[in-house]
Amino acid sequence: MTQTRSQWGSRLGFIMAAAGSAVGLGNIWKFPYMTGENGGGAFLVLYMICIVVFGLSLVIAELLIGRMAQKTPVAAFRETAGRGWSVVGGLAILTAFVILSFYIVVAGWTLAYTVFEATGSLSTMNSEALSATFKQLTGNPWQPVGYAGLFMLVCVAVVISGIGSGIERASKLLMPILFVLLVVLVVRAVTLPGAQAGIAFFIVPDFSKVTSDTVVAAIGQAFFSLSLGMGAMVTYGSYLSRERNLPVDALAVVGLDTLIAVLAGFMVLPAMFAAGLEPGDGGAGTTFLVLPAVFEAMPAGSLFGFVFFVLLAVAALTSAISLLEAVVCYLTDEFRIGRVAATVGTAVACLLLAIPSSLSFGPLAKHTLFGQKFFDLLDYVTTWIALPVGGILTALCVGWVLGPRAVTALTNQGRLAAPWAGVWLFVLRFIAPVGIGWILIQGLIK
Ligand code: PHE
């Protein structure tokens, strides 16, 4: 018990790590195609509103509860709010584990595509050949599992090294690299002939395209992108010293996450328009089916394609690390298991769960559970059920159970002006539970 808990070495280190968790496949793979499918500018506006209204308040709430307890989410909810609330933490850890298991499958594909681009094997392909390549990779029984395993190995190496010399150091190195790569690709995309139409589609809202599905998609995406409801932010908050100015740090994390999603939109949508494609083309497959062709049509296309997939892999890495850390922190805090054993054990178990997810694109494609492929089922249950349930319970817990105590902890040393704390509490008590409750219902109807 006398062992002191690890802490972030610097403010910048913490912000980079938390932003690294938030910035992931969600920003670069999911956000652009969701914007494309949901009418462009109008989706962007809705997304921003969700970030400001729910996202920021919940990021602060999650970081705060971790910081107050200095423990894993399970213990953090138990010690701050009471025994029964530890279920919220438990649900979060379980969700993190499950998300990690299919996140590494997609991350594995990005590694595979990095190799394809590096060897130039996509350079002469037309769209049929690209889709055959994608099917061949994802349908192969062992190759994608191998890539997922390789990806997991890198995560393990980072998480084993601990908070300061592992996660913080890796994030401080990787996040600036990610940013530079992204800016290079944005500049390339927006200067392509015909890109203007894509820029207009992205930033000029057309509200006639908004339906209730658009709103649900925007809230769900905001949550996933900010790493909420999965214990990641609570865990990262638990390594913060109580002196930190939390609202400002949270604002930086949320701002960076949003900035990167918007930049990804400026990269993907103009490039698609320039290549004569419709913004909704390819859907979730845009990244793997459509973008390689877009890159190949540009001068030095293989190089830009390679840079793009490296970018995606880096983004996925810092997010996967935070999911792994959430589970590892739980095992080390609650069961006093050593970090090395906890990390390796979690990684192996997760990889085993990744196998059926991966196989559901190939040999198991015809086997469905509740009418869905295994991969889709895990995605659905976590994103549309576990995540909103966790979000609502966290908001209620911090808003009602902790209430004034949370405000005191947040405004320590008068760092948050009282009116803002009042707004924050109001959002947690009323706006977030109602808003998120509504996506939960919509998700269940779907
Ligand atoms: N926010 C990450 C992304 O956008 C995903 C993630 C969710 C990571 C939850 C950690 C925890 O890809």
Ligand 1 pocket test: pick from 322, 329, 379, 384 the residue with the most ligand atoms within 8 Å of its Cβ: 322
Question: Residue 425, Cα to own-chain centre: how many angstroms?
Answer: 25
Instruction: Determine the residue type at 309.
Output: F
Instruction: Domain 11-445: state its class.
Output: mainly alpha
pLDDT in tens, the chain (446 residues): 445 789 999 999 999 999 999 999 999 999 999 999 898 999 999 999 999 988 999 999 999 999 999 999 999 999 999 999 999 999 999 999 999 999 999 999 999 999 999 998 887 777 788 888 999 999 999 999 999 999 999 999 999 999 999 999 999 999 999 999 999 999 989 999 999 999 999 999 999 988 888 888 898 899 999 999 999 999 999 999 888 789 999 999 999 999 999 999 999 999 989 888 888 777 778 888 888 887 887 788 889 899 999 999 999 999 999 999 999 999 999 999 999 999 999 999 999 999 999 999 888 877 777 878 899 899 888 888 898 899 999 999 999 999 999 988 887 755 666 788 889 999 999 999 998 998 889 878 87
CA angle 236, 148, 226 (to 5 degrees): 30
Pocket probe mutation, ligand 1, options 58, 99, 319, 378, max atoms within 8 Å of Cβ: 319
Reference 389, options 213, 212, 220; nearest CA is 220
C-beta of 326 in contact with ligand 1 (< 6 A): no
Q: Is the CB of 319 under 6 A from ligand 1?
A: yes
| C-beta 322 within 6 A of ligand 1 | yes
Q: Is the CB of 20 under 6 A from ligand 1?
A: no
Nearest residue to 401 (alpha-carbon basis) of 435, 432, 425, 380:
425
Nearest CA to ligand 1 atom 9: 227
Domain positions in the chain are 11-445
Rounded CA-CA distance 255/23 in Å is: 11
Q: How many Å lie between the centroid of ligand 1 and the Cα of residue 24?
A: 6
Q: How far is CA 32 from the centre of its chain?
A: 14
- Does 389 contact ligand 1 (Cβ within 6 A)? no
Q: Which residue lies with its CA nearest to atom 7 of ligand 1?
A: 227
73 close to ligand 1 (CB < 6 Angstrom): no
Q: Is the dihedral of CA 26, 27, 29, 31 positive or negative?
A: positive
Is 167's C-beta closer than 6 angstroms to any atom of ligand 1? no
Whole-number Å distance, alpha carbon 348 to ligand 1 midpoint, is 20
Whole-angstrom distance, CA of residue 355 vs CA of residue 80: 37
Task: Extract the tokens encoding 319.
Answer: 């997010």
Ligand 1 atom closest to residue 226's alpha carbon, by position in its atom list = 1
Check if the beta carbon of residue 268 is closer than 8 Å to that of residue 286. Answer: yes
Please tell me the pTM assigned to this model.
0.94
CA of 21 to the centre of ligand 1 (A): 6
